[in-house]
Amino acid sequence: MPVAARILRHAATHPDRTAVCGPLGEWSHAAFGRRIEDLAAHLAARDGILDEPVAISLADPVDQLTAALAVDLLGGTPLLCDPARNVRQSAPRVDAIPSGPPPAHAARPAHVPAPGDLAWACFSSGSTGRPRAVVRTRASWTGSFEPLSELTGIGSGDVVLVPGPLQSSLYGFAAVHALAVGATVLAPGRWSPGSLPRLLRRATAVHLVPHSLPALLEALPEGGPLRTAVVGGAALGPGLRERAAAAGVRVVSYYGATELSFVAVDTDGTGLRPFPGVEIEVRTPPGQRLGEVWARSPWLAEGYLAGAAGPLLADGDGWMSVGDVAEPYLPGEALRLRGRGGGAIQTGGATVVPEDVEDVFRSVAGVGDIVVVGSPHPDLGAVVTAVVEVGTGMPPERSALEAIARGGLDAAQRPRRWYAVQNLPRTPSGKPARGLVAARLAGGDPALRRLA
């Protein structure tokens, strides 16, 4: 069943309950359902609208959801895009919500939706490389709704805050899941810490990345309704789960990828375990201490649109990987991730996983966040280079950072070069954009200040 059809059922059973609240106002389930149906009728009158994925280039998050669900209702494949991103002009697209009633002659195409339809597409939001569009079947998207609801407790009575751009798969999935189960979605658009106190007076659940969790906890009103934070996109920083628990917020963290969907989940702080329906293997080459994470599940994507190249690997037995690395794994144990394999730094014959280095510094005073990359070196191949986000404050002394490195890292892991920047570049989902940091370093960006 299309997600849109589920939302129209909610419009029939509780029409007056709020479905979605955006920057320009809020819509009841009945009003939101009418918006979806009216736009679907407008689109049905356009020739070729369903011949390939429909690019949705709208700035307002409520408009984005309306358009995506209208295309879904017709049996098409919606692709949420950044309005600033160039989309092939020949591709079907929605860049405005028509005003006025739909054409009187408009009729829906005679399409019978099936679980195997290529029904959803979204951009990957990895920290390296260029985002690419990932396409998946309807079943791989909607089939995980029920286990996610069971793990997080999110249901029809919730108000779910989705404080990021919906073209990011993390936030887009969160919004569609909440609407499908009948919850209210708070969709303010891009992350804005200044709006959090107002939003947190209503939200009972939130989806976000680890970097955003501290600001959210600082903005929590005393006695507010928030009870669950669903955190994905990167490793959870030290102490964040405990800090959230002290504020009465349960953290459900997960590991996944746009191409793989959910892979593993940690509901109680005891470590990542396979998400329901997922099998995990860590394929470790002989003599190596880390291996590549492979997953097999009903939630895997079909691949990239237009045959684009990307990190997704597949074998002949239904397993897929995006190159993430982990320690050896046995069923029943916790999955111990060590980072993205393609980001590993080869320095003087040693392999350094950036996330191992970053974890040592994230709780240091004055370090808002940190990205570690490899910088070219004529003799060593590369040297470990750290870029520290300091906001409006002063960066920590390099001598203090190096003392911490000596106490917590092997010699090969210790950064040789240190830089400070006011704000790290980030992907649409809020993760540090590792590839862009490396490019700015290579280009001599003056905003990156060398720590002497």
The two tokens of residue 301 are 């994507």
Give the model confidence (pLDDT) of 178-221 as tens digits. 999 999 999 999 888 899 999 999 999 999 988 889 999 999 99
pLDDT of residue 333: 93
- For the stretch 414-442, what's the b/e string if a residue is b when 16 or more beta carbons lie within 10 angstroms of its beta carbon? bbeebbbbeebbbbbbbbbbbbbbbebbe
Domain finish residue from 326, 352, 368: 326
Strands (E) across 124-194 are located at 133-137, 159-161, 184-186
Residues 439 and 355 both lie in one domain: yes
What range does the domain containing 278 cover?
A: 3-326
Predicted local confidence at residue 322, as pLDDT = 86
In a domain, 121, yes or no: yes
Least confident range of 68-77, 111-120, 137-146:
111-120
Q: Looking at the domain assignment, is residue 335 inside a domain?
A: no
Joined together, the tokens standing for residue 256 give: 């996944």
Question: Residues 236-248: what's their mean pLDDT?
Answer: 91
382/436 same-domain check:
yes
Residue 336 lies in a domain: no
Are residues 262 and 401 part of one domain? no
In a domain, 339, yes or no: no
Instruction: Convert the pLDDT of each residue in 16-75 to its tens digit.
Output: 999 999 999 999 999 999 999 999 999 988 877 777 888 898 999 999 999 999 999 988
The answer to the question of residue 373 being in a domain is: yes
223 or 235, greater pLDDT: 223
- 223 and 99: one domain? yes
Cα–Cα distance for residue pair 115/109, rounded to 1 Å: 18
Average pLDDT score over the chain:
87
- Residue 172 sits in the same domain as residue 61: yes
* Over residues 424-450, mean pLDDT: 83
Q: Kindly list the distances between the CA atom of residue 445 and the CA atoms of 422, 435, 437, in Å, as whole numbers in the listed order.
A: 13, 14, 10
Question: Which range (70-79, 102-111, 358-367) has the least confidence?
Answer: 102-111
Predicted pLDDT at 350 = 64
Q: What is the pLDDT of residue 129?
A: 47
User: Could you report how far apart the first and last alpha carbons of the chain are, in Å?
Assistant: 60
Q: Answer yes or no: is 244 within a domain.
A: yes
SS3 355: helix
Last residue in a domain, options 275, 299, 326: 326
Percent above pLDDT 70 for the chain: 92
Residue at a domain's end among 326, 361, 381: 326
Q: In this predicted structure, what is the pLDDT of residue 336?
A: 92
Residue of 344, 389, 443 lying closest to 128 (CA atoms): 344
Residue with the larger pLDDT of the pair 312 and 22: 22
Res 89: pLDDT: 53
Residue 443 and residue 302 share a domain: no
| 181 and 57 in a common domain | yes
Residue with tokens 């805050």: 161
| Higher-confidence position of 1 and 294 | 294
Residues 314 and 360 reside in one and the same domain: no
* Same-domain pairing of 358 and 301: no
The residue whose two tokens read 């990205």 is 371
> What integer is the mean pLDDT of 236-262?
92
Q: Please give the average per-residue pLDDT across 145-162, as a whole number.
A: 97
Q: Is there a single domain that holds both residue 257 and residue 373?
A: no
Q: Which residue(s) pair with 256 in the sheet? A: 262
Q: What pLDDT shows up at residue 236? A: 82
* Banded model confidence at residue 100, pLDDT cuts 50, 70, 90: confident
Does 332 fall in a domain? no
- pLDDT mean over 378-397: 87
85-109: average pLDDT? 70
Provide the number of structural domains found in the chain.
Answer: 2
For residue 364, the domain's CATH number is 3.30.300.30
The reply to whether 305 and 357 lie within a common domain is no
Cβ-contact 44, 107 below 8 angstroms: yes
Q: Report the pLDDT value the prediction gives residue 435, as an integer from 0 to 100.
A: 76
- The CATH number linked to 314 is 3.40.50.12780
Judge whether 318 lies within some domain: yes
- The pLDDT score that the predictor gives to residue 272 is 96
Domain identity same for 167 and 248: yes
The string of DSSP letters for 187-248 reads --SS--GGGHHHHTTT-SEEEE-GGGHHHHHHHPPTT-S--EEEE-SSPPPTTHHHHHHHTT
255 and 268 Cβ atoms separated by less than 8 Å = no
